[in-house]
Each structure stands twice: as C-alpha cells, then as structure tokens.
Amino acid sequence: MPQTLKKQALTLTIANGFTRGLGFLFRLMTARLMGAEAIGVMELSASAAMLALTPATAGLPTAMSRVTARPNADQHAVLRAGLSLNRRIALVMMPLLLLLAPGMAWLLSDFRTLPAILISIPAVFLLGCCAVYSGWFYGRGDMLTPAQCECSEQVVRFVGSLVLLLIFTRSPLSVRAALPGFAGILAGICVWMMFRRRAPLPPGVPSADLRRELLALSAPTAVSRLCQTCLRMLTAVLLPLCLRQSGLTASAATAQFGLLNGMAMPLIMAPGIITSAMCMVAAPAVSRQESNRVRLKRTMRQLLLLAGLIGCLSSCVLFLFAQPISMLLYGEPALTGVLMALSPLSMLFAIQQVQFGLVTGLGVQRRTMPGTIVSSVLTLVVMSALCPMPSVRIFGALLAMLAGSLVRVIWNAAVLQSAKRAA
C-alpha cells in the first residue's frame, strides 16, 4: 500500500483494535451476566432493528467519503447535504420501526424481543448522523477524529451496559436483553455531540443536488446491505424454528442461536479489526486513483492480498485453538465444534470487507447486488433444508453461511476484475 494509505489504515486499525477488543470483552461479560438465552433474545431483536438502521448507516459513510474526497469539493456543503439526507431517512424509518415493532416480535416468535426493538428507535437518527460525520472526515483524510469518537462510543457503551446489567441483575430476561441497547443510545448521543463540536457548520441551506447525488451513491450499497440484513432477520426467524423442528425446545433453540451469533460470530469477524480499516481507506483512495490505471490496479491487488493473508491466519488460529478459546473465554464446550466448522468464514469475511471498499471506490455497487441476492437465497435454502435434521441442526446453518459467503466473494471478485479492465 502507498505510505499515506498505510498511515491511515494504521490509525483506524489501532482504533478498531481498541474498540473490537473492548467489544469482545463486552461480549464476554454480557455472556456471563446474561446467559446464552438472554444473548439469543438480544441478537434476535438486533436482527429486527437492523432493518431500520441499515438505510441510515449502510451507504452513507462511503458515499460521503467519495464526494468529500473530490478535488475542489465544497466540503461544508457536502456535510450539510449528508446530514439533511439522514434527517429525511430517520423521519421515515423511526415511525415505521415503532409501528412494525410488535409485528417483528411476533414474526420472531418471541415477544421478549419487543423492549430491545423499541429501545433501538432513536439509534436510527443518532447512528445515521455518526455515519455521515465519519464518512466526511474520511473523505478529508482525517482518520483520527472518527477513530477517537468510535473509541469513546465503545467506552461509554461498555461501561453503561455493565453498570445497567449489574443494577438490574434480577430483572426479567426481556429487560436485561434491552439494557445494552439503552447504553448504546447514551453512547450515540455522546459521539454525536463530539462530532458536532469537531465540525461546526456555518449557516447555509442544504444543496438538493448534493443530497440527490449522495442518495444515488449510497442507495446501491444500502440495498445490498439491506438484503444481508433481511437475510439476518430471516435467519433469526428461520433458524430457531428449524432447530425446534429438529427436536429442541424453544429455550434450547434460542440458546443455540445465541451461541452462534453472540459467541462464535464475534470471533469469526476478528480480522475486521484490520480489514474494516482497510475498507474505509480503500474507498476514497481508489476514487482518487481512477485516472491512474497502473497505480489503481497495484493498490487493489495489494489490499486484496493482505486481506486474504489476514483472514487465512485468523482461520488457522480459530481452527487449531477452538477448544481452549471456547473453554477459557466462554466456558462453553459446545462452541468448539461450531468454531472449527465456521473458521473458513473468517477468511471469506476479511476478503469480502476489503472488496466492499474497492467496489464502493470504483462506483460499481449496482453490479454486486445480484450476487448478494443469489448468496442470500442460497443461504436460506441450505439452512431450511439441513437445520431441521436432528443429526445436523446448528451445523446446517454453518454450512449455509459458508456457501453464501463463498458465492458473494466470487461474485465480487468477478465485478472487480471487470471494473479493472474497464478502468
């Protein structure tokens, strides 16, 4: 990578290392304080809330960074337009989430998720604002400010969640599952105020043209991410149902879901500490290098190779040390087999994350949407076919996730190869 990209990626990697490390410690603490079933309820509610959060957060950071990074861009005008767009999205999604929350809880077959879903409503506006500010700072080449804000958010969320869980330790399971979400709202308010202090806006009217451009740039990514969010929501509905069909009780099925999403997935996504930083610096960097074909291809090749090496190392560690990791961190023997089977997904996720940054920087997000849809359908079909089998159960979900991710990585690779030839 060029030296400037290395410095930017290093700044974000250090911040990601801190936030992911604290987030992982948060997972460990909440798993011990809440138990697998409460973790399962929290993850179920999160899958529903993400449907409302995705339009506000998915495409805006990279769209903001791409537009802000342009030569001679009116950066304050871009920020005003991004914040205006986020307000409009929030005015639609927040009331919609409020109206649909009971139906989502019914669809999840667990009304204990309702408090956590309702708690997440203010997060649509708050996280959307943070996404706009982060993308704006990335486009300006300022990685330090978003990194500091992200670290502050994680600290407030971590401390707030632990304090609330310790105070309400005897509360009903539905209340305990909602407490981390409430702490997240408090953290979102703190970060929003920090961003506003770092980037005060002069008076002015948001540009309708810039707002439309940001919407056009963010929409393909948002739709693609919405497909993945819908997949997560459908998985949250389908997986516990299939596990119950295999002979498990409702409580045991929810606990298995918590084991997969609340315990295994944070470990599988550990390379994101580095690859998410690479993703964020890749989008504006590739956008700037579109006119230099040789330099563009070299940067893309280096980023993808590094992502593959990082993911491969993570997969090997998880496979070889699955048992001590499961026992020392969670005290869950059942997690060992899940980690071993799911370990290749760590490499696929690492590659996919960097591919996303490159795709966004080249502005070819629309071409990846069919791949996202195909992979999502494949995941659901394999899961619904295998998970009801008593001899397979949760491992059917693991195979489904691996198959879907592999298809997505291959599709994205084909899109990037085509874009490189056309550059």
Q: What is the pLDDT of residues 23-59, one digit of tens each?
A: 767 777 776 677 667 777 887 788 778 888 888 888 8
Tokens describing residue 295 = 């330099």
Q: CB count, 10 Å around CB of 3?
A: 7
pLDDT at 370 over 80: yes
For the chain, the first-to-last Cα distance in angstroms comes to: 19
Rounded CA separation 231/375 (Å): 10
Do 342 and 402 form a contact (C-beta atoms < 8 A)? yes
pLDDT at 3 over 50: no
Tokens describing residue 394 = 């949760």
The pLDDT score that the predictor gives to residue 1 is 47
> Amino acid identity of 273?
I
pLDDT at 403 over 90: yes
Tokens describing residue 68 = 């802000």
The pLDDT score that the predictor gives to residue 15 is 66
Rounded CA separation 175/184 (Å): 15
pLDDT at 14 over 80: no
Mean pLDDT in residue range 129-150: 86
The pLDDT score that the predictor gives to residue 148 is 84
The pLDDT score that the predictor gives to residue 10 is 63
Mean pLDDT in residue range 131-153: 86
Mean pLDDT in residue range 318-344: 87
Lowest mean pLDDT: which of 13-17, 291-295, 380-384? 13-17
Has this prediction a pTM greater than 0.95? no
The pLDDT score that the predictor gives to residue 360 is 75
Mean pLDDT in residue range 135-155: 85
Q: 408's torsion region: left (phi>0), alpha (psi -120 to 50) or beta? A: alpha
The gap from C-alpha 356 to its chain's centroid, in whole angstroms, comes to: 12
